[in-house]
């Protein structure tokens, strides 16, 4: 039947009101291969400085652009990378805003934290001698990546089509706490009785003709099945998981986000075979969820973005810092030396770190909390206590790769996750936990979450 356009739109509108189940979402997705083409060092283990020797799996950047019934657009970018540092992000946000009009507050830049991907840096190029060529390659790679991510979002916005959104939560069994208590303090070894978040939340995006367009899933575990001996480039378990899901659902993008994984490693770990095995477990669980009865997600989408002023420990004396730099735990020595040097030059150390975070509210159906940094699993408990347990997806490793974010208890107990800012200019205080939780509560109220 032929009908004027306006009438069509009106009928659709009434249909939505009457049924209450039509989410009226639009979505677009795109991906780009970001496997380095030149020799670069692998990121994540300081001891490893030589370029990768071979490739076991390509690296990808993928994007999901969502548009709700009011026309509001939001972007989730996932990357098989160690992390997006604060100095890398502005150019990406600006590129996306220029090309699509979508602002930083509506963009989640996330990463899988693979320790088998390229080292990222924008630090100045050194003299053009061959010893530094790998480092210059890393700079070139990072600069290119900034442009590629903005391009990718633009491509996805050109292919928006009607979709339905659903979500559900599964389980990942290989996630194990890595803070072992020993006579000499906390060590980086498996601690099976320690807390971790083993949930595997999953967002399903289905086209009007019932095809899977994209699936976004999350595991709260370091992508460190492969240890410092590995020199083969790949996405670790999450890279293999994405590839396997995409093979099961041709044409769909499988996208991986990292949860509060700061204190969690895969178990067991150490070989490529285990990385594939954990990837297979994730892929099978995602497939099970995709075939199960998931909860529908209605709109509209409300987003809020801000910075949590996380309190840093007050500066110690130059003498104390000197002592830690010489005799302290390995993970504190570098930052102690850096702070000692800064104080020696009469510089002022920061009292807070402004950590970005976002909270997205999907109708009355789901709240997505997206924290920055390497957040430990205690923040899952703290967030649930503060804003309720239900209809909640707590992600981390978004926006800004500034360092580990420990809970107050971990600050008191010590260990690797207390190493502070990667720039070496501060250690988080016990107060930082409350600072972050307060910021989450404020944003959750702003977007209208009901505290279930
Ligand atoms: Zn890490």
Does position 125 have pLDDT exceeding 70, yes or no? no
Between the CA of 348 and the centroid of ligand 1 the distance, in Å, is 28
Between the CA of 224 and the centroid of ligand 1 the distance, in Å, is 8
Between the CA of 423 and the centroid of ligand 1 the distance, in Å, is 15
What would the mean pLDDT of 267-274 be, rounded to a whole number? 98
Between the CA of 196 and the centroid of ligand 1 the distance, in Å, is 14
Between the CA of 185 and the centroid of ligand 1 the distance, in Å, is 20
Between the CA of 259 and the centroid of ligand 1 the distance, in Å, is 12
- Residue 452's pLDDT is 78
- Residue 122's pLDDT is 93
- Residue 134's pLDDT is 84
Between the CA of 92 and the centroid of ligand 1 the distance, in Å, is 22
Share of the chain above pLDDT 70, in %: 93
- Residue 356's pLDDT is 98
- Residue 128's pLDDT is 54
Between the CA of 429 and the centroid of ligand 1 the distance, in Å, is 19
CA angle 194–196–201, rounded 5-degree value: 165
Does position 3 have pLDDT exceeding 60, yes or no? no
Note the pLDDT tens digit of each residue in 316-357.
999 999 999 999 999 999 999 999 999 999 999 999 999 999
Share of the chain above pLDDT 90, in %: 90
Between the CA of 113 and the centroid of ligand 1 the distance, in Å, is 7
Does position 239 have pLDDT exceeding 70, yes or no? yes
Between the CA of 222 and the centroid of ligand 1 the distance, in Å, is 6
- Residue 126's pLDDT is 58
- Residue 302's pLDDT is 98
Between the CA of 236 and the centroid of ligand 1 the distance, in Å, is 13
Note the pLDDT tens digit of each residue in 166-211.
999 999 999 999 999 999 899 999 999 999 999 999 999 999 999 9
What does pLDDT average to over the chain? 93
Between the CA of 448 and the centroid of ligand 1 the distance, in Å, is 32
pLDDT confidence band for 103 (50 / 70 / 90): very high
Between the CA of 295 and the centroid of ligand 1 the distance, in Å, is 32
Between the CA of 262 and the centroid of ligand 1 the distance, in Å, is 6
Between the CA of 265 and the centroid of ligand 1 the distance, in Å, is 9
Q: Looking at the DSSP assignment, which residues form a beta bridge with residue 63?
A: 30, 77
Note the pLDDT tens digit of each residue in 374-417.
999 999 999 999 999 999 999 999 999 999 999 999 999 999 99
What would the mean pLDDT of 276-295 be, rounded to a whole number? 98
pLDDT confidence band for 46 (50 / 70 / 90): confident
- Residue 11's pLDDT is 36
- Residue 76's pLDDT is 98
- Residue 7's pLDDT is 34
- Residue 9's pLDDT is 36
Does position 10 have pLDDT exceeding 50, yes or no? no
pTM for the predicted model, two decimal places: 0.93
Between the CA of 170 and the centroid of ligand 1 the distance, in Å, is 23
- Residue 133's pLDDT is 83
Does position 305 have pLDDT exceeding 90, yes or no? yes
Between the CA of 85 and the centroid of ligand 1 the distance, in Å, is 13
Maximum mean pLDDT: which of 4-13, 116-125, 430-439: 430-439
Between the CA of 42 and the centroid of ligand 1 the distance, in Å, is 14
- Residue 129's pLDDT is 52
What would the mean pLDDT of 264-285 be, rounded to a whole number? 98
What would the mean pLDDT of 252-257 be, rounded to a whole number? 98
Note the pLDDT tens digit of each residue in 149-158.
999 999 999 9
């Amino acid at each position: 039947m032929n009908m004027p356009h306006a009438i069509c739109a009106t009928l659709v509108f009434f249909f939505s009101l009457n049924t209450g189940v039509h989410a009226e979402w639009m979505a677009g997705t795109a991906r780009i291969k970001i496997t380095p083409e030149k020799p670069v060092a692998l990121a994540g283990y300081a001891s490893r400085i030589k370029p990768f020797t071979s490739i076991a799996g390509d690296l990808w950047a993928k994007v999901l652009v969502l548009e709700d019934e009011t026309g509001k657009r939001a972007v989730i970018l996932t990357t098989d990378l160690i992390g997006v540092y604060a100095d890398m992000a502005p150019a990406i946000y600006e590129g996306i805003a220029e090309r699509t009009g979508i602002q930083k507050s509506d963009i989640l830049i996330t990463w899988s934290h693979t320790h088998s991907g390229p080292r990222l840096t924008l630090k100045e190029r050194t003299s053009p001698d061959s010893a530094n060529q790998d480092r210059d390659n890393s700079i070139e790679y990072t600069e290119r990546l900034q442009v590629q991510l903005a391009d990718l979002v633009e491509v996805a916005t050109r292919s928006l089509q009607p979709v339905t959104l659903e979500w559900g939560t599964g389980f990942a069994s290989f996630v194990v706490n890595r803070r072992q208590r020993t006579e000499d303090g906390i060590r980086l070894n498996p601690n099976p009785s320690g807390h971790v978040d083993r949930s595997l939340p999953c967002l399903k995006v289905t086209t009007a003709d019932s095809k899977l367009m994209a699936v976004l899933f999350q595991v709260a575990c370091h992508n460190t099945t492969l240890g410092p001996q590995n020199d083969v480039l790949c996405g670790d378990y999450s890279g293999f998981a994405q590839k396997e899901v995409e093979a099961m659902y041709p044409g769909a993008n499988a996208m991986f986000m990292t949860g509060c994984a700061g204190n969690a490693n895969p178990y067991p770990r150490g070989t490529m075979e285990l990385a594939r095995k954990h990837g297979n477990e994730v892929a099978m669980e995602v497939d099970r969820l995709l075939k199960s009865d998931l909860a529908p997600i209605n709109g509209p989408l409300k987003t809020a973005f801000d910075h949590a002023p996380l309190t840093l420990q007050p500066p110690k004396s130059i003498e104390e810092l000197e002592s830690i730099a010489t005799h302290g735990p390995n993970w504190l020595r570098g930052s102690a030396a850096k702070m000692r040097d800064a104080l020696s030059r009469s510089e002022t150390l920061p009292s807070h770190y402004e950590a970005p975070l976002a909270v997205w509210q999907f109708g009355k159906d789901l709240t997505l909390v997206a924290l920055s940094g390497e957040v430990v699993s205690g923040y899952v408990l703290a967030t649930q206590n503060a804003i309720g347990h239900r209809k909640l997806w707590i992600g981390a490793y978004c926006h800004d790769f500034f360092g580990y974010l420990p809970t107050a208890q971990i600050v008191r107990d010590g260990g690797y996750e207390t190493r502070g800012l990667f720039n070496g200019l501060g250690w988080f205080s016990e107060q930082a936990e409350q600072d972050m939780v307060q910021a989450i509560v404020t944003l959750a109220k702003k977007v209208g979450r009901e505290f279930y």
